[in-house]
Structure 1
């Protein structure tokens, strides 16, 4: 299948509502909370991550967006718990594809995923304005609304179902709403292979005037998923 024959949009029933913890975000994106204190941050797509909830508790202005946020928080928690259970069952059969350093074992991983999900949906109940529903590659924000945008475990990973055009249009949209910098993690697909068209993406961004670098992350769980793309808009 060619890159342009794949779907160019994301359907709700094809997503898994699972997220990472604040601590994972700090490591994967090499974040310094002090540097973020006076920034407006976008997490896109954020899924069931606890980054927005915990960051705002620390005085960091973070907005999360995701297609899933059109649904009530209680429904999302139920779906999230089901998705975590499903994912853990599958992961138990493929443990060799993962680096077991940050997480001790599957049960420890499951505890972290439930922690992230719980913090996310509880924050949604009291601070719903932080969680904006969106259907990529379109974003409901004005130009240059955010200083920094973070995008984890979505772009590049699902290249088997989201084509090159979708990736490029989504990155263009992230650039539209971002003033300073975009960080995308990781740079591999679900098989742990470098995204096939990453060089084409970098070439496009460079020609558009951005400064693009591949930066080693402090986090690796999925084998070979240890680098992020830093785009200076």
Structure 2
């Protein structure tokens, strides 16, 4: 095994490569397709989500971005399959941490995750230009390049390893590349606790001229993860 292959394997071990479906995104972010038609949308970070693949097929202009996209689609597909198995095994042991309304059970959840990964893989192979490697809190896009930015299961979720300054720096960057609004889901960490510095984040955003609303959404799988933060630019 070459040094490059060894590095890729080690780096990938640090990445959880699981995705949600287009339908999940629409519910997590309280969106209808009409809200996105004619808009330029960024999904960041997007992982193995099928939002870009399915959205593009429905005439929505979406770009996906993730630190994992530096790796080959073959390595990511294999990693995704492995991570689905690990995640399902964990959820079977901790079923009480989840609300089983959106998904009827473990098997349906597994099918959704596999479908998201399959759609992502097929689109990545055909349209790799839509999938941009990024390393937050820095983005390579221009100011106001996108109308709407969606960010799921990253900020607030990993509160145990991403400090407050990282959150602020990342939010500034997400807002820099966005013309209209940024939506973030969920507002709880991996333990299901509300992000401890959320009120400080909200106040910081308001102090810098943004309109901030906490919005209940029709999606709850992890207990307590049923609202998003909608940050709008007033100019």
Same fold flag (TM > 0.5):
yes
Q: Deviations over 1:170-216 (max 9, x none)?
A: 11000000000000000000111100000010011000000000000
Instruction: Name the counterpart of 1:229.
Output: 229
Q: Tell me, what secondary structure is at the counterpart of 1:34?
A: helix
Matched, 1:47 2:47: yes
Superposed, 1:147-226 pairs within 5 Å as: 147-226=147-226
Whole-Å separation in 1 of the counterparts to 2:185 and 2:35: 19
Matched, 1:126 2:126: yes
Q: Which has the higher contact order (CA 8 A, sep 6+)?
A: 1
Structure 1-normalised TM-score? Answer: 0.94
CA contact (8 A) 2:12 2:79 kept: no
Instruction: Name the counterpart of 2:74.
Output: 74
- Computed over aligned residues only, the root mean square deviation of the Cα atoms, in angstroms, reads 0.9
Whole-Å separation in 1 of the counterparts to 2:66 and 2:185: 16
Q: Deviations over 1:50-95 (max 9, x none)?
A: 0000000010000000001011111110000000101111111000
Instruction: Name the counterpart of 1:26.
Output: 26
Q: Tell me, what secondary structure is at the counterpart of 2:37?
A: coil
Q: Which runs of 5+ in 2 are unaligned?
A: 1-10
Q: Which runs of 5+ in 1 are unaligned?
A: 1-10
Q: Give the superposition deviation at 1:121.
A: 1.1
Matched, 1:97 2:118: no
Q: Tell me, what secondary structure is at the counterpart of 2:230?
A: strand
CA contact (8 A) 1:12 1:67 kept: no
Whole-Å separation in 1 of the counterparts to 2:100 and 2:180: 34
Instruction: Name the counterpart of 1:135.
Output: 135
Structure 2-normalised TM-score? Answer: 0.93
Equivalences, count: 223
